[in-house]
């Protein structure tokens, strides 16, 4: 297939995803205003399958895609010293980005104090709306980090960290045995290309998933919920806009004006993440598009899987907003040192839980309890969690793209778009 044909197909897919987004908003609004609860429930029960089918296909390819690309990338790097150096740079960037996001969120919430608008809604936050939370423990984290059986890990999209650990060790072992490991590396490279081709095929279901996701949310909740929570939604997206500006500025430092080309390359993953509120839906396409942008395979296959679990800039911002908003709503005055301590706890406890449904709410509830803030307060966020989730997930995509480019340049790699 020629390059113009490939580019034309890419543009057509982006157009159809956008059409699905707008169509979902229109249909959802019409249904919310013209249909009764029973019809909306019937519509939701049918429309949800568009998103379910797409996400199941995405979950199907996550494990093999991460395994194959990361094994080939690590084997291509070749030595443990280089892996260690890249790991330090990658994790260092993730910590820097997380702290930046948390600090920005802390500043904005303290200036505008959006939680004060919710003090009259405390009585409406009932326990029936709560999500189940788990306490973070080191044992649990280690259990999620180290695989007992790689085939079990590959069978679940929720065990990406375990696949990453195995892939790094396996890739290093392959590089260490020299010529004998080349057939396996070649096979893994072929598998990686097959999975990327399969990704492109699956992406044509994305417009349907986008349409179903958006139309369901609007049909059930209506635009009224956005008016009721308008200040919080606008403030949160204003904070995300500032965060995007900072991230793009950091990207400019590393690739200059090509940062705009980077944003054009990742527009599809951004739209997918925003519309479906799922990092999983965007990961395969983001991997593909960063390689198209010119980032070496060995960098993308190493940084992105780690970023999928550790570099959640948008989620960091959301957890700051959520935690401090609940404290403000309950009239609990936290000192600056308490707020900073809470944010550091959030930064640690949030790592490695990206695949858990409503992970940010789980982390918020598990963290605020330790500071005397009622966990029931997360019920205040539930009516608009989907709307906020869309923005924070898209921001996670941008943050991981910038992180991958930054690590690539820090490694001295040239990026040829």
User: pLDDT tens, 318-346?
Assistant: 888 888 988 888 888 888 888 888 887 77
Asked if 314 contacts 391 with a C-beta cutoff of 8 angstroms, the reply is yes
Alpha-carbon dihedral 173, 175, 181, 182, rounded to 10 degrees? 150
pLDDT digits (tens, 9 = 90+) for 353-389: 444 445 676 667 767 877 778 877 776 776 677 778 8
**pLDDT band at residue 158, thresholds of 50, 70 and 90?**
low
Region 3-410: CATH code = 1.10.3860.10
Q: Which residues contact 393 (CB under 8 A, 6 or more apart)?
A: 273, 274, 276, 277, 278, 279, 282, 314, 315
Using the predicted structure, report yes or no on whether residue 228 has a pLDDT greater than 70.
no
pLDDT of residue 67: 83
Using the predicted structure, report yes or no on whether residue 106 has a pLDDT greater than 80.
yes
3-state SS of 373-394 is CCHHHHHHCHHHHHHHHHHHHH
**pLDDT band at residue 159, thresholds of 50, 70 and 90?**
low
* CB half-sphere exposure, 320, CA atoms < 13 A: 31
Using the predicted structure, report yes or no on whether residue 402 has a pLDDT greater than 70.
yes
> Within its chain, how far is the Cα of 32 from the centroid?
29
Alpha-carbon dihedral 37, 39, 40, 46, rounded to 10 degrees? 150
**pLDDT band at residue 35, thresholds of 50, 70 and 90?**
confident
Asked if 389 contacts 266 with a C-beta cutoff of 8 angstroms, the reply is no
Using the predicted structure, report yes or no on whether residue 75 has a pLDDT greater than 80.
no
Residue keyed to tokens 């054009």: 264
**Sign of the C-alpha dihedral computed for residues 402, 172, 88 and 94 taken in this order:** positive
Distance, CA of 323 to CA of 395 (rounded, Å) = 19
* Residue 302 DSSP class: H
Name which residue leads in pLDDT, 12 or 351.
Answer: 12
pLDDT of residue 382: 67
Q: Mean pLDDT over residues 287-316, rounded?
A: 84
Q: Mean pLDDT over residues 291-304, rounded?
A: 86
Asked if 378 contacts 130 with a C-beta cutoff of 8 angstroms, the reply is yes
Cα–Cα distances in Å, from 31 out to 27, 43, 121, 156?
6, 9, 27, 36
Among residues of the chain, what percentage have pLDDT more than 70? 82
Averaged pLDDT score across all residues of the chain? 79
Using the predicted structure, report yes or no on whether residue 55 has a pLDDT greater than 80.
no
First to last CA, the chain: 19
Asked if 293 contacts 262 with a C-beta cutoff of 8 angstroms, the reply is yes
């Amino acid at each position: 297939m020629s390059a113009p044909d490939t580019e034309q197909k890419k543009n057509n897919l982006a157009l159809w995803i956008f059409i699905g987004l707008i169509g979902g908003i229109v249909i959802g609004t019409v249904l919310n205003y013209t249909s009764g609860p029973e019809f909306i429930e019937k519509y939701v029960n049918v429309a949800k399958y568009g998103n379910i089918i797409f996400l199941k296909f995405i979950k199907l390819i996550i494990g093999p895609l991460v395994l194959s690309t990361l094994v080939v990338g690590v084997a291509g790097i070749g030595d443990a010293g280089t892996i260690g150096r890249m790991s330090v740079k990658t994790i260092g960037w993730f910590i820097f980005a997380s702290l930046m996001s948390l600090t920005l969120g802390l500043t904005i919430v303290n200036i505008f104090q959006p939680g004060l608008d919710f003090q009259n809604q405390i009585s409406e936050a009932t326990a029936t709306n709560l999500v189940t939370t788990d306490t973070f423990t080191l044992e649990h984290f280690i259990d999620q980090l180290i695989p007992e059986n790689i085939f079990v890990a590959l069978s679940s999209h929720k065990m990406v960290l375990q696949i990453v650990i195995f892939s790094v060790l396996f890739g290093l072992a392959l590089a260490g045995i020299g010529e004998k490991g080349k057939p396996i590396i070649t096979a893994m490279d072929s598998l990686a290309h097959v999975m990327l081709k399969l990704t492109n095929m699956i992406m044509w279901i994305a417009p349907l998933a986008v349409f179903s996701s958006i139309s369901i949310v609007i049909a059930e909740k209506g635009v009224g919920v956005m008016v009721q929570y308008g200040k919080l939604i606008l403030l949160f997206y204003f904070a995300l806009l500032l965060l995007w500006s900072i991230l793009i500025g950091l990207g400019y430092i590393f690739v200059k004006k090509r940062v705009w080309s980077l944003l054009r390359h990742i527009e599809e993953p951004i739209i997918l993440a925003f519309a479906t509120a799922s990092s999983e839906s965007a990961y395969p396409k983001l991997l593909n598009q960063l390689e198209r942008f010119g980032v070496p395979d060995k960098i993308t296959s190493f940084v992105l899987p780690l970023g999928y679990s550790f570099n959640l800039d948008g989620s960091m911002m959301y957890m700051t907003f959520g935690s401090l908003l609940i404290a403000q709503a309950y009239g609990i005055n936290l000192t600056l040192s308490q707020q900073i301590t809470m944010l550091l706890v959030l930064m640690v406890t949030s790592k490695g839980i990206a695949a858990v449904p409503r992970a940010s709410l789980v982390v918020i509830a598990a963290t605020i309890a330790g500071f005397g803030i009622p966990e029931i307060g997360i019920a205040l966020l539930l009516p608009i969690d989907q709307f906020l989730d869309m923005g924070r997930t898209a921001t996670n995509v941008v943050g991981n793209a910038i992180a991958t480019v930054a690590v690539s340049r820090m490694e001295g790699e040239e990026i040829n778009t």
